[in-house]
Amino acid sequence: RGGEEEEEEEEMEGRHPLYPGHIPTSPLQKALLAAGSAVMALYDPYRHDMVAVLGETTGCLALPNLRDKMKNHPEGYRILQERPRIRLSTLDMARLQGLPDGSLGREYVRFLEDNKVSPDTRMPPKFVDDEELAYVIQRYREVHDLMHTLLGMPTNMLGEVVVKWFEAIQTGLPMCVLGAAFGPVRLSSRKLQVLATELVPWAIRSGLNASCVLNVYYEQRWEQPVESLREELGIFPPP
């Protein structure tokens, strides 16, 4: 009887997704997706679709923890209530480009332009079986480029590894831990030395010292100087 009820519930979930694009999956399916996406992400770290799947299928412990941190912080709680999105359709690019040099908005746009990236490339969640947690991982993805901006790191492999170390400490997401641990294997010996002696220690110290980066309503901070926001959060100046 209980098994039949569970099957009916699963069928109902399939007919009525928790949010647009949601795909209900069993624990076994999640494990298989996690294993496959981990292999592909390690083989090609720029496969953002595989990195995204890995984050969703392994974040069952980290995502509720992040959500609770947001709920217990006034600015984070407001973000959870209002559900802002960082996309080209929600950004006033002309206004951001007109902000003073050094401001968060101007430096964010400069980062996007210099690295030829767009906030619209962030994939929507599919495999997170909770609507609120799905927003948490969506928010994490959409502020990832702002982490690059705050940390002063480019989108090359070295910069991505440094950001992943910071995010691993901050979020506890296994995907970030995996990227931090295995990302350096493709780096040259010279870059590995810089990474090990300067950048990783700084990223770890900053990650441990900083308050939760998901508790910042970035859309209402565009005018704030990057240095001021770093200081407020507790991120040490980049080496």
Query: What confidence tens digit (pLDDT) does each residue in 89-136 have?
Result: 999 999 999 999 999 999 999 999 999 999 998 889 999 999 999 999
Contact 235/228 with Cβ under 8 angstroms? Answer: no
The least confident of 59-73, 114-128, 160-174 is 114-128
Please state, as a whole number, how many other Cβ atoms lie within 10 Å of the Cβ of residue 177.
18
> Comparing 5 with 185, which gets the higher pLDDT?
185
Pinpoint the alpha helices (H) of 88-194: 93-97, 104-115, 131-142, 144-151, 157-171, 174-182, 189-194
Which SS3 state, helix, strand or coil, does residue 182 take? Answer: helix
Q: What is the mean pLDDT of residues 23-50?
A: 83
| Predicted local distance difference test score (pLDDT) of residue 12 | 42
pLDDT of residue 48: 75
Q: How confident is the model at residue 46 (pLDDT cuts 50, 70, 90)?
A: low
- pLDDT given at position 196: 93
Measure the CA–CA gap between 123 and 93, rounded to whole angstroms: 21
Residues 6+ apart with CB under 8 A from 192: 184
If you count them, how many residues does the chain have? Answer: 239
